[in-house]
Amino acid sequence: MEILIGFLCAVLLAVFIVQIGKARELASAVRNDKNEEYEINKLQAGLGVVFMVLFLAVCLGSFVYYTQYILGWGPNTAASEHGTEVDYMFNLTLFFTGVVFLITQFCLFWFAWKYRGRKGHKAIYWAHNEKLEMVWMIAPAIVLTFLVVGGLQAWNNIMIDKGDHDIEIEATGYQFAWALRYPGRDNQLGTKHFTLIKQGENELGQDWTDEKNIDDFLPDKIVLPVGKKVRVRITSRDVLHNFYLPQFRVKMDAVPGMPTYFIFTPTVTTDSMRRRLSELPEWQVPDKNDASKKRWETYDYELACAELCGKGHFSMRRVVKIVTEEEYQAWLDEQEKNSFYLTNVRGKANDPFASKALAIEDLLKQKDLVNTQVIAAQDALAAAKKANNAAEVTKLTTALVEFAKLQLTARTTLDVQAATKAAADAATLAQQVLQPVVTTPAVDSVATDSTVQ
């Protein structure tokens, strides 16, 4: 409210000054007083210079004040490999346009002051000057060529698809959400067709006769490992949407009937980004939704839709988490059992593999066996640490390194034999390092034995 009142006062003051100026101008014209006209010129040109100083001060001040919020500055430096290139182009453009802005604004008001109408000064008639025209044509042409060629080069570097990505995921925009799809452990997205789309049953139109679809799962957020090259296949089911990951400088239209893509490598984990933000005072305040936490503690990267696609456009948001490779593998492990095929199609009337045993089911079974042993070993290690049993801690820590290797095999292999071997090896290792579990209740059996005697 105060700002509005202040703004209105400033407008009224400006109107007042202009009206007084006009009245003076009219009076001098009636009196045919040239000196009065020169005085008015001086006043107006002087006010122009004052305005210029204030205006440029406000521009520079707001730039400094909002630096923390500008992409490419402070906490908003890019969190992806190619993002630094985009930020560089932005900053280069900002530099050139900033310099031109300062020079032109200065010249505009300074010239109005310097060449104001004065006694004894006559304006010269200057139709054109070829040299000057050449300068102001060639200088921007050089700068723009530099910017455009640099921009094209950056675009080509970013968009080139060498097929050497580590992970391919898919994002399908629809009114009003993103359907995300991961390829599962075969690392290949299954085929889909729009004619197969069935509300509630097959949202993406996945073709269940394609075995690549069997392990595809549809999570509610994007989780990616840091430092891995990710290709996102971007599609839309209805209207134009836009796949936008601001912190990674990823932005691409989702077009119905025409898949697009974006390849990027995340470089900053969510945890690192939170730590980065925790150093800033404005992120130290309590969170809006959870007052027990600071704002930086609940920070998450996000996927948004950057195409105004209808009334629910605002709700097209998904959380994006960048994690370490180990955390990513653990997340995949969790998600694997949620494969859309396994949870919704397997064993149903529309299951094309109804009578066939599937390798993925064996793989998941073997993986679960390994996981059980690993959890038992981790629990044993925790207990040994609590009991201050140094020898046991050393033994279990060494064993857990071996367990981790077996677990990784069980989590990633496509070969049932390899998975079965990993499960068998894990069982053997568990036998060697874990205390045998006592199954007979010792006290009771002794009592029973003595009664029998």
Instruction: Please state the closest distance from residue 22 (CB atom) to Cu ion, in A.
Output: 51
Dmax (CA) of the chain = 138
Residue 58 Cα distances to 14, 52, 74, angstroms: 18, 10, 21
As given in the structure block, the two tokens for residue 152 are 């094209």
Which range, of 11-19, 116-124, 236-244, 432-440, touches Cu ion by CB under 5 A?
236-244
Residue 384 is a binding residue for Cu ion (CB under 5 A): no
Residue 316 is a binding residue for Cu ion (CB under 5 A): yes
Residue 309 is a binding residue for Cu ion (CB under 5 A): yes
Which range, of 190-198, 279-287, 313-321, 343-351, touches Cu ion by CB under 5 A?
313-321
Give yes or no for a cis peptide into 176 (omega within 30° of 0).
yes
Q: Which of 322, 357, 339, 320 is nearest to 183 (CA)?
A: 339
Q: Is the dihedral of CA 11, 17, 21, 24 positive or negative?
A: positive
Instruction: Please state the closest distance from residue 193 (CB atom) to Cu ion, in A.
Output: 22
Which range, of 55-63, 87-95, 113-121, 307-315, touches Cu ion by CB under 5 A?
307-315
- Is the CB of 306 or the CB of 370 nearer to Cu ion? 306
Q: Which amino acid is at 103?
A: I
Residues 6+ apart with CB under 8 A from 452: none
Instruction: Please state the closest distance from residue 59 (CB atom) to Cu ion, in A.
Output: 34
How far is it, in rounded angstroms, from Cα 383 to Cα 194?
54
Instruction: Please state the closest distance from residue 69 (CB atom) to Cu ion, in A.
Output: 24
* Residue 150 CB neighbours (<10 A): 15
225: which strand partners?
A: 323
Query: CA-based Rg of the chain, rounded to a whole angstrom?
Result: 34
Q: What is the DSSP letter of 178?
A: E
Ranges within 399-438 binding Cu ion (CB under 5 A): none
Among 214, 226, 305, 399, binds Cu ion (CB under 5 A): 305
Residue 181 is a binding residue for Cu ion (CB under 5 A): no
Which range, of 96-104, 107-115, 239-247, 323-331, touches Cu ion by CB under 5 A?
239-247
Residue 249 is a binding residue for Cu ion (CB under 5 A): no
- In this structure, the strands spanning 222-225 and 317-323 are parallel
Among 165, 241, 367, 411, binds Cu ion (CB under 5 A): 241
* Residue 274 CB neighbours (<10 A): 17
Q: Which amino acid is at 444?
A: D
Q: Which amino acid is at 66?
A: Y
- Is the CB of 239 or the CB of 383 nearer to Cu ion? 239
* Residue 54 CB neighbours (<10 A): 10
Instruction: Please state the closest distance from residue 307 (CB atom) to Cu ion, in A.
Output: 5
- Is the CB of 241 or the CB of 367 nearer to Cu ion? 241
As given in the structure block, the two tokens for residue 429 are 């290792």
Q: Which amino acid is at 241?
A: H
Instruction: Please state the closest distance from residue 233 (CB atom) to Cu ion, in A.
Output: 17
Which range, of 62-70, 135-143, 237-245, 430-438, touches Cu ion by CB under 5 A?
237-245
Instruction: Please state the closest distance from residue 243 (CB atom) to Cu ion, in A.
Output: 9
Instruction: Please state the closest distance from residue 220 (CB atom) to Cu ion, in A.
Output: 17
Which range, of 199-207, 214-222, 301-309, 362-370, touches Cu ion by CB under 5 A?
301-309
- Is the CB of 316 or the CB of 320 nearer to Cu ion? 316
- Residue with tokens 């993925």, as numbered in its chain: 360
- Is the CB of 18 or the CB of 308 nearer to Cu ion? 308
Residues contacting Cu ion: total by CB under 5 A = 4
Instruction: Please state the closest distance from residue 256 (CB atom) to Cu ion, in A.
Output: 12
How far is it, in rounded angstroms, from Cα 237 to Cα 243?
13
Binding positions for Cu ion, rule: CB under 5 A? 241, 305, 309, 316
